[in-house]
Amino acid sequence: MTTCANQWNAWPPARSTEACRPRRGIAALMLGWGLLCASFPAPAQDGDAPPELGDIQIAQSASCFGFTDIENPRALEICDALALEENVRARELGEEWIRRQPDSPAAQFAYAEVLYTAEGNLARALFHLNRAESLTGYETITEAIESGNIQWHYLTLSQLSNVHQLMGDQLRALEYLDHINEIYGQDVESFRGWPLLKLKQYDAARASAMAVLENTENERERARAWNTLCAVELASLAPVDSMAVCNRAISEDENLAAQSGRGDTVYLTNASEVALSLLQMEAAEDYLDRATRNLNPDSVADPWIYKLYLTMSQGRLVEARAALDRMLYWRESQKPIVGVMNRAEHYMVSAAFMLLAGYAEDAAVLSETALNQPDRNGSYSADDFQKDAMAALINAVASRMQYQIRLEQGAGAGWAGSLKTRIEAAGLLFTAWRSERFAASLFTRPEILLNRLRPYAPLDVHIPEWIEPELVRMIGTGVVRGALDDAFDAGAFQLNTGYYHAWLAEAAAIDGDEDEIIEHGARALAQLPPREALVRARVEARMGDARWKLGEHESALEHFERALRTDPGITRRLGAALPVSLRTSGGGFSRQLADILRASPRFREHQNGFLLDAGNDGAICLRARSGANLSCYTAPAGNAGEASQAFHARAFGPGFEISKAQRSMLRGSSVIFANGAGRMENSPQLLSED
């Protein structure tokens, strides 16, 4: 999904570096945003000694809340504490000031700024900003000047617009921008584009961005305008014609970074999303790699989130694991307000990775945590409810996967034990059903479902293409087929119709139509990009099941083998069983192992199936008919149940483990990083806007 560039770095105008430039009108004269400069004595006359270095008076360059002429000692103390990242002290100073002077707009604003900057507590910050506004409420610049609170009034209005935008109230954000313009004559046009885009007023957003480009040479404002145009171009279901507009946003930002030493990953991650929507996967990854080169704790766009999604979808699971580590390092380095805004993204991508890694319980917890996060998505192009829809979708998949794992664990426990396991696990099916109903209620909106069908829809919440087909079962094949036809006619699949056929193959699988599965599955595999590994693996698994049911055993096993080698967990997520021919080595332990494997929901016995060997030494091997190993595991002889569970974890997982400490950290627990290396040690993280 597209993201906007960081508002706190660029808004309000009087708080950014560009705001130090003289502005026209009385507002510029009264608000004190003059340039900082050294004050030198008069030039030496002939015969005078040259001035000593100590005689030169240097003006203080430090600013407080973006102004260089704030003199209130309490405000200066808070600014110093924030600058030194002494957040506890800043909060204590703010609370004391509020207690002593509750009717001071300066105190109310300063405390709100502590809550916003140091803690990311938008709700409480909004409360105190509203209080500050009620204590000022000026309607003209003359009133503001005469009150002596002009700075606090201006800052309060600016931050109210920003906070309302981040909390999703775009109309209020625009109202405060208009108020600033009416009272202070401040040009705020470059900040209007993103709220208009969030309101889906695409023509108005385009007009606003064009007005900025026509009337300003300010590179940060121009970068925001190009970024808005980049997002507006993506509003159509049909792919954009080129990357030109998005590349202009990057160019403006890189020019700014060259001058100030500070860029923003937003423009690069947005360009990556656009490239991905054009199925230019190598270009998309190149943009992300450029974004990851410099840690950017002020940016809402964590490029490792998107790198993790990309490597997962391409079946590069070892690289995905490395991206997870780097994503967590980036997350721990973020400023608090950034963490508030993209924490749900971190939870959701982590949940998706846990699904692939075989940790269904962790995936369920992470997705539920994301679902319970308050929406702070004002800097993302996606609607707020889309985050909830994706979180519910992943939670449903995770709950069903947990159910399958419980059945695997209960295999071989006998009739009574198996019944007990099913009863205990029934709650997981209810949880999955409840999440599915919630997700379906959000995705069945026609416009949302149409956008969702477009491959890598760039204005929506990022839902991995290999998870999206779960919607077919949740929404219903009839609804999805109708939406697919509409999306096809609108141009959503014009770059690659393989995705269209992959959806139809999934619908056919739900309907139980083997011939249609094979027809659309074959066309999907022929047309899908080679890098679309996990989508292809899902289609292979569906085709394997269809061909097996039609008695085409050899061809079916080839499909199953390709699916397993790419995505070992696919059969678990589909609740499918592999056909196997069980073989034992003759010993009692070998036969005990075989009985447990026979009861597993992952296998069904057939003489023409894969070879599944249960050794008396605790070795379990799944092999192709050719004898090639698909997965092998040797457990200490003695406990057949534990050996079976360990084999299932190995056979239907990526082949590596994730420590309990790291899984706890994914849920939000603290972590210690080795000195900048991104290595995690044991110890109790669309497109975006500028």
- The predicted-structure confidence for 232-250, as pLDDT tens digits, reads as follows 877 777 777 667 777 777 7
Q: What is the DSSP string of 560-616?
A: HHHHHHH-TTHHHHHT--EEEEEEE-SSHHHHHHHHHHHHSTTEEE-TTSEEEEE-T
Choose one of 133, 151, 185: the last residue of a domain.
185
Backbone dihedral angles phi then psi of residue 66, each to the nearest 5 degrees = 90, -5
C-alpha to C-alpha distances, 145 to 179, 184, 222, 410, 637, nearest whole angstrom: 16, 11, 31, 75, 85
Pairing between β-strand 578-584 and β-strand 619-623 as defined by DSSP bridges? unpaired
CB 46: neighbour CB atoms within 10 A?
A: 4
Instruction: Decide the pairing of beta strands 603-605 and 57-58.
Output: unpaired
Rounded mean pLDDT of 33-37? 28
pLDDT band at 356 (very low <50, low <70, confident <90, very high): very high
Most confidently predicted of 321-325, 418-422, 613-617: 321-325
For residue 500, being part of any structural domain is answered with no
Over range 628-641, report the average pLDDT: 84
**Mean pLDDT, residues 673-688:** 36
> Per the domain annotation, does 601 fall within a domain?
yes
42: phi then psi, degrees, rounded to nearest 5: -60, 150
CA-wise closest residue to 421 among 429, 413, 433, 431: 413
Does residue 590 lie within any of the structural domains?
A: yes
The Cα angle at residue 671 between residues 667 and 675, in degrees rounded to 5:
145
Average pLDDT over every residue of 428-453: 86
Measured between alpha carbons, how far is 479 from 285 in angstroms, rounded to an integer? 34
The model's pLDDT over 116-144, given as tens digits with 9 standing for 90+, comes to 999 989 999 999 999 999 999 899 999 99
Residue 244 lies in a domain: no
Interaxial angle between packed helices 360-371 and 384-410, expressed in degrees from 0 to 180 and rounded to the nearest 10: 160
Tell me: pLDDT of 263 over 80.
no
Going by pLDDT thresholds of 50, 70 and 90, the confidence category of residue 51 is very low
Percent of the chain with pLDDT over 90: 53
Tokens of 482: 């109708």
Higher pLDDT, 277 or 503: 503
Give 159-181 pLDDT, tens digit per residue: 999 999 988 899 999 999 999 99
pTM of the model: 0.83
Contact 452, 460 (CB under 8 A): yes
DSSP state string for 299-363:
-S--HHHHHHHHHHHTT-HHHHHHHHHHHHHHHHHS-HHHHHHHHHHHHHHHHHHHHHHT-HHHH
User: Is residue 284 predicted with pLDDT exceeding 60?
Assistant: yes
Length of the chain: 690
Q: Is the pLDDT of residue 373 over 80?
A: no
**Is residue 551, in this structure, part of any structural domain at all?**
no
| Structural domain harbouring 79 | 24-34+60-185
Q: Give the residue-averaged pLDDT of 427-454.
A: 86
96 assigned to some structural domain: yes
Q: Which of 162, 185, 208 is the last residue of a domain?
A: 185
pLDDT for residue 449: 82
Beta-strand ranges (E) seen in 64-116 are none
Please report, for the domain that includes residue 28, its CATH number: 1.25.40.10
Residue given tokens 């061909």 in the structure block: 547
Pick the last residue of a domain from 154, 185, 216.
185
Q: Is 2 in contact with 686 (CB distance < 8 Å)?
A: yes
User: CA-CA distance, 614 to 556, in Å (whole number)?
Assistant: 23
The number of folded domains in the chain is 2
What does R_g of the chain's alpha carbons equal in angstroms? 29
Q: What is the pLDDT of residue 334?
A: 87
Query: Would 124 be classed as within a structural domain?
Result: yes
For residue 680, pLDDT beyond 50: no
pLDDT score, position 566 = 95
Q: Is 531 exposed, middle or buried (0-12, 13-18, 19+ CB in 10 A)?
A: middle
Interval 389-422: pLDDT, tens: 889 999 999 999 999 999 998 887 767 777 788 8
In a domain, 360, yes or no: no
